[in-house]
Structure 1
Amino acid sequence: MEIETLDALDDHLDSGESVQGLRLQDLDLTGYADRLRERGDLAGLVVLGGRVPPDVAEVLLTRGAIVFPGIADAPIDPWRGLYFPEDLYDGLEQGYAATPDARAYAWFIDATLRTDAYCTLIRAIHDDSVTDELDELVDGRSVVGVMGGHALPRGSAEYAAAARLGHGLAEEGHLVATGGGPGAMEAANLGALCPDMATLRHALATLTEVPAFAPDVTAWASLGLRVRRTIVGAEPQVPTDTLGPSARSLGIPTWFYGHEPPNVFCDVIAKYFSNAIREDGLVSRSNAGIVVLHGAAGTVQEIFQAVTPLYYAPEDVPLAPLVLVGRRHWTETLPVWPALQQIAHGRRMAESVHLVDTFDEVLPLLASPAS
């Protein structure tokens, strides 16, 4: 059982139930030495990060608890889980390089730390914490994954169309999940975040001032954050563990592609160090279907990652639809569709893969949130 708030810890201690096997995650245990000293069942209690003063640590360790300390010299908190856009872009007024997002990427690619066992452990703990909160966020939700390339510029007709698709999906009750980056991903997240078409039209018009994240991420993200505040306001964010039912827009980016900064139009961001875990998590959680917009190598990889479970799925497992948008792109520019047809031939998945030309054709092909 995980305990993630002091209120929950107090309730458990007051109940008199055993604390063996509990996981106390990212809590400030200052002042808890006496309460814990009264317990005779600390063996097997696991404390993950947070603040553990010396008097509390002494009680825990001498009585058999396991204490994982906080990490002082990493640019991220490995126990924190999901992010809000403002978390990753904190300090942006000093330039993108000063933000936690940029510093985490610099730390990740540092050749002297890349294979360091200590840093590897930190990254693994971080990604597991993200997965833990992400599972809680999507539990019971109808999730549609929207894949697409990062190069699609703000202000283009294709960007606006992808944003309208994201909005339509969210209005149908789906949680719109993307790779969390710029371009088509940003557009779908933007559309999902906007509560109505008037807000979306205003956002699209404003964003044309800075069409791309290169060469100036600072200007691109700053404008995005300004537009985000017109959509959701500047009120403090609700805790991520209560956000699930109301979330419309989810980003799942990775520092593996750190040259692609995360877009700011997600209700919440699940950012990973491991691209493999991130891609599998995005595909496997898209239980209502996956929509694939124009993209290049990364998008093609995601298509075939989605195809594999469709190909091998047992007969009693329902198949989520996979919809490719853009007949010419997927048959001529990048001829993925002919390969999919050959793979699907004679198999049950043939009824689940689709090629369409317009976004209006997408929604009827997806699983209903009520199903």
Structure 2
Amino acid sequence: MEIHDRQQLASQLASGSLAHVVVQGLDLSDVDLSHVEVAGAVLLGCRLRDSVAVELLARGALLFPALPQLPYNPYRPRLYHAAELMSGYRRGEHESYARTLDQRIYQHYVASRRKRPPAVLDTLAQRLHDHAIDDALADFLGRGEARKVIAIMGGHAMRRGEAAYADVARIARAVARRDAHYLMTSGGGPGAMEATHLGAWLAGAPDNALDEALALLAPAPDLAHTGWLDAAFEVRERWPDCAADSLGIPTWFYGHEPPNVFATHIAKYFSNSLREDGLLGIATHGVIYAPGSAGTIQEVFMDAAQNHYGTFELVSPMIFYGVKYWTETKPVYPLLENLARGKQYADLLFISDDVDEIVARLVEHPPVPYSGQAPRPIGS
């Protein structure tokens, strides 16, 4: 059992036992634990009086101490939200972005990477943080009825105002409207990723809201424009209460790019490899590939390997938006067709320029159980 807030804690304390319970990131300095069973309890980054900490250790609890002088909580019990990461930003003051929590964490991360060798405490804190995000993400995805996670992957260079940006937003909006259990997700950055969350953000708005939002965003087409963040906040304020849940999974590895503010939940990692593998792993109801470069193409073949070998015991749709791009400009699709020949996922490949065709293909082709022999450990 995990406890993340004071209400949960009070309920558990009423039972008289924290035995084998994990308590994450709470201030316990005013909590009387003297008559509570604590053998096997795990306290992650909880604030305790020194004398109480000594007593709890003697009674069989396991304590992970808070780590000093960090701009982030390595034991955080929940995902991020845009308002938290962007705290410190002031509209109309582009330079204030440097004071946001997101950028303060990024600058700390950059400084830690420059050390040779890296400081053990820094790398330990980053890994503890990413483990906490993994745990919070599992809690989020496991809440209520099962979510049907769909990812849209694509380049950060896709500009607001481009037809492809609008189409990606329309795809995401249409999918989010089809079924409340669909959860749109992306790498959480700008470009095609932002378009994904814009579409989900406007899922509950009138049909004309998306065109109006696109018009508001277009004058600040990319990160180089000082109004990029302000335009996004203007859209959020114009349509504040119509968003379908969506999940952005960005990384401070590419922390010079701010997380887009249309994702309702943000699982931000330090490790890019954990983030990429995890994003593709949870997107069991399919991945849509918008035009992108090396990073997107790498993700195509990571996803293909998961389908090819039944890594998650499911085979999921791989859908490509942009026929000319994926067959001529970056001819990945013909290679993938060849790779998939004779495999289950050959039937789940699809390519189109049409928004409605892509949405229909996705919702009409749910994942199927992997029928091959999944890799087994030697000797099993």
Work out whether the TM-score is over 0.5: yes
Q: Which residue of 2 aligns with 1:79?
A: 75
Q: Which residue of 2 aligns with 1:250?
A: 247
Amino acid at match of 2:281: S
**Equivalences, count:** 353
Amino acid at match of 2:11: D
Q: Which residue of 2 aligns with 1:240?
A: none
User: Does 2:107 align with 1:106?
Assistant: yes
User: Does 2:239 align with 1:231?
Assistant: yes
Q: Which residue of 58, 76, 92 corresponds with 2:89?
A: 92
Q: Which residue of 214, 222, 225 corresponds with 1:212?
A: 222
Instruction: Return the offset for 1:317.
Output: 4.1
Contact 1:114 1:120 in 2 (8 A): no
Q: Which residue of 134, 155, 159 corresponds with 1:131?
A: 134
Amino acid at match of 2:133: V
Q: Which residue of 1 aligns with 2:28?
A: 29
Amino acid at match of 1:29: L
Q: Distance in 2 between matches of 1:186 and 1:341?
A: 29
Structure 1: gaps spanning 5 or more residues: 235-245
SS in structure 1 at match of 2:157: coil
Q: Distance in 2 between matches of 1:118 and 1:72?
A: 10
SS in structure 2 at match of 1:146: strand
Q: Which residue of 1 aligns with 2:268?
A: 271
Q: Distance in 1 between matches of 2:116 and 2:62?
A: 26
Q: Distance in 1 between matches of 2:123 and 2:244?
A: 31
User: Does 2:309 align with 1:312?
Assistant: yes
Contact 2:152 2:290 in 1 (8 A): yes
Cα separation, partners in 2 of 1:369 and 1:67, compared to 1, 3 Å:
farther
Q: Which residue of 2 aligns with 1:180?
A: 188
Q: Distance in 2 between matches of 1:200 and 1:340?
A: 33
Residues 147-205 of structure 1: CA distance to partner in whole angstroms, max 9, x if unpaired? Answer: 01011111222211111111001101211001100011101110111122233222211
User: Does 2:6 align with 1:6?
Assistant: yes
Contact 2:220 2:228 in 1 (8 A): yes
SS in structure 2 at match of 1:133: helix
Cα separation, partners in 2 of 1:68 and 1:285, compared to 1, 3 Å:
same
SS in structure 1 at match of 2:75: coil
User: Does 2:63 align with 1:67?
Assistant: yes
Q: Distance in 2 between matches of 1:30 and 1:222?
A: 41
Q: Which residue of 2 aligns with 1:121?
A: 124
Amino acid at match of 2:191: G
Contact 1:89 1:99 in 2 (8 A): yes
Amino acid at match of 1:338: P
Q: Distance in 1 between matches of 2:117 and 2:230?
A: 30
1:134-173 to 2 correspondence within 5 Å?
134-139=137-142, 140-173=146-179
When structure 1 is superposed on structure 2, of 356-365 and 144-153 the one drifting more is 356-365
Contact 2:316 2:366 in 1 (8 A): no
Q: Distance in 1 between matches of 2:65 and 2:357?
A: 52
Contact 2:245 2:265 in 1 (8 A): no
SS in structure 2 at match of 1:38: coil
Cα separation, partners in 2 of 1:324 and 1:21, compared to 1, 3 Å:
same
Contact 1:29 1:56 in 2 (8 A): no
Cα separation, partners in 2 of 1:206 and 1:356, compared to 1, 3 Å:
same
Q: Distance in 1 between matches of 2:140 and 2:117?
A: 30
Q: Distance in 1 between matches of 2:116 and 2:56?
A: 31
Q: Which residue of 2 aligns with 1:337?
A: 333
SS in structure 2 at match of 1:346: coil
Instruction: Return the offset for 1:215.
Output: 5.2
Contact 2:152 2:288 in 1 (8 A): yes
Amino acid at match of 2:228: W
Instruction: Return the offset for 1:20.
Output: 2.0
Instruction: Return the offset for 1:228.
Output: 1.3
Q: Which residue of 1 aligns with 2:376?
A: none
Q: Distance in 1 between matches of 2:324 and 2:209?
A: 32
Q: Which residue of 205, 212, 216 corresponds with 1:202?
A: 212
Provide the aligned C-alpha RMSD in A: 2.2
Q: Distance in 2 between matches of 1:339 and 1:103?
A: 42
Instruction: Return the offset for 1:366.
Output: 1.6
1:355-366 to 2 correspondence within 5 Å?
355-366=351-362
1:38-53 to 2 correspondence within 5 Å?
38-39=35-36, 41-53=37-49
SS in structure 1 at match of 2:219: coil
Q: Distance in 2 between matches of 1:144 and 1:256?
A: 23
Contact 1:113 1:119 in 2 (8 A): no
Instruction: Return the offset for 1:70.
Output: 2.1
The TM-score normalised by the length of structure 2 is 0.87
Amino acid at match of 2:326: W
Greater relative contact order (Cα < 8 A, sep 6+): 1
Q: Distance in 2 between matches of 1:292 and 1:78?
A: 32
When structure 1 is superposed on structure 2, of 148-157 and 265-274 the one drifting more is 148-157
SS in structure 1 at match of 2:33: helix
